[in-house]
Amino acid sequence: MTAQTQPRELLEEVVTSVDGGVGIVRLNRLKALNALSYGVMQKIVEAFEVYERDPSIRCILITGNERAFAAGADIKELENATVVEMASSLQMERWDRIRRISKPIVAAVSGFALGGGCELAMCCDMIVASETAVFGQPEVEIGVMPGAGGTQRLTRAVGKAVAMDMVLTGRRLDAKEALAHGLVSRVVPLESFYDEALKAAHAIASKAPMAARMAKEGVARALDMSLEAGLAYERRLFYLLFGTEDQKEGMAAFREKRAPQYKGK
Ligand code: CAA
């Protein structure tokens, strides 16, 4: 089969699709275990930004395949990079753009989530992991260290002791350990990891969009604020929701014992 005759999906390293209110991004760089090349990262960001702007999309789902979510940044691309190239490349900006996505993002992770792959999963708001998922920050083994948030997000998620072990020795966590240490939200059988993650994404998409967005922001900000400041911040977000039609609709629907019809207004 030549490149021209291959199905389109085989040629696309990042495949997007929409399922109801969920915008799906699937990493499809099979032979390189979904290594996050500059091109792949750019496509992920572009897809996220399209979903961010589309009012019909209320939650984003990112996934890989059973063998790998992503095995990290593309080492072959990085091998000969200089400090100046690294500092002036747009790669880190792409990570910042993912952080600024306001809609909830669910990661459906199976197999390797290593280095940048683990960091990408941690950028998401919820991780649904298959029993075969493996999380690690093995950069120290190739002469570097995590560079896309690994030392910061991992430490906030699992605490200093486990983060130091992972970052300094390259130790990987299996799915059960990742759950026990608070890195993932759910662990489910391999056969159903994608469906369970999609179900979670649909559950989020069925909520009032502004409420989901503000709730995401509140939890995310908890990690970098004092309790005092965080509580004040949360209160302002909470008050703000009383300016939405969806708050009136949600509470009226509860009183009238019917399903709410949210409009994102
Ligand atoms: N970059 C580029 N290619 C990669 C890759 C990566 N991160 N990870 C795997 N691949 C490629 C391999 O080179 C191989 O390709 P070829 O067949 O062309 O040689 C293919 O994927 C399959 O990999 P393996 O043959 O190694 O498969 P395995 O099952 O024996 O091992 C693995 C799997 C343990 C994940 C191993 O591939 C591995 O250790 N990968 C690197 C993991 C890593 O170090 N990640 C961190 C990268 S740096 C980073 O992410 C920096 C940051 O913070 C942003």
Q: Which atom of ligand 1 is nearest to the CA of 149?
A: 53
Residue 137's closest CA among 26, 46, 157? Answer: 157
- In this model, does residue 3 exceed pLDDT 50? no
Q: Is 149 in the pocket of ligand 1 (CB under 6 A)?
A: no
| Average pLDDT of the chain, as a whole number | 95
- 129 touches 109 (CB < 8 A): yes
Strand-pair category, 14-19 with 22-27: antiparallel
- 49 touches 97 (CB < 8 A): yes
Specify the DSSP element, H or E, that contains 15: strand 14-19
- 235 touches 229 (CB < 8 A): no
Interval between CA 32 and ligand 1 midpoint (Å): 7
Q: Angle of helix 116-123 relative to helix 91-99, nearest 10 degrees?
A: 30
What is the structure's pLDDT at 10?
Answer: 63
Q: Which residue carries 């992920």 as its tokens?
A: 44
Question: Which of 70, 71, 73, 157 is flagged as catalytic?
Answer: 73
Q: Is 73 in the pocket of ligand 1 (CB under 6 A)?
A: yes
Type of residue at 115? G
pLDDT (tens digit per residue) in 56-99: 999 999 999 999 999 999 999 999 999 999 988 888 899 999 99
Interval between CA 73 and ligand 1 midpoint (Å): 9
Share of the chain above pLDDT 90, in %: 92
Q: What is the mean pLDDT of residues 33-48?
A: 97
In order, the DSSP letters of 202-229 are: HHHHTS-HHHHHHHHHHHHHHTTS-HHH
253 noted as active-site residue? no
**Which residues are paired to 17 by β-bridges?**
24
Tokens coding 89: 């490349």
For the chain, helix, strand, coil in percent to 5 are: 55, 15, 30
- In this model, does residue 9 exceed pLDDT 80? no
- In this model, does residue 44 exceed pLDDT 50? yes
Question: Which of 68, 117, 119, 197 is flagged as catalytic?
Answer: 119
pLDDT (tens digit per residue) in 209-256: 999 999 999 999 998 899 999 999 999 999 999 999 999 999 999 999
Report the Cα 256 to chain-centroid distance in Å: 36
- In this model, does residue 5 exceed pLDDT 60? no
Q: Is 22 in the pocket of ligand 1 (CB under 6 A)?
A: no
Q: Is 116 in the pocket of ligand 1 (CB under 6 A)?
A: yes
Specify the DSSP element, H or E, that contains 122: helix 116-123
Q: Is 140 in the pocket of ligand 1 (CB under 6 A)?
A: no
**Distance between CA 137 and CA 118 in Å, rounded?**
7
Pocket test for ligand 1, best of 75, 95, 122 (most atoms within 8 A of CB): 75
pTM of the model: 0.95
Q: Which atom of ligand 1 is nearest to the CA of 78?
A: 48
Q: Which atom of ligand 1 is nearest to the CA of 33?
A: 21
**Which residues are paired to 74 by β-bridges?**
none
pLDDT (tens digit per residue) in 106-127: 999 999 999 999 999 999 999 9
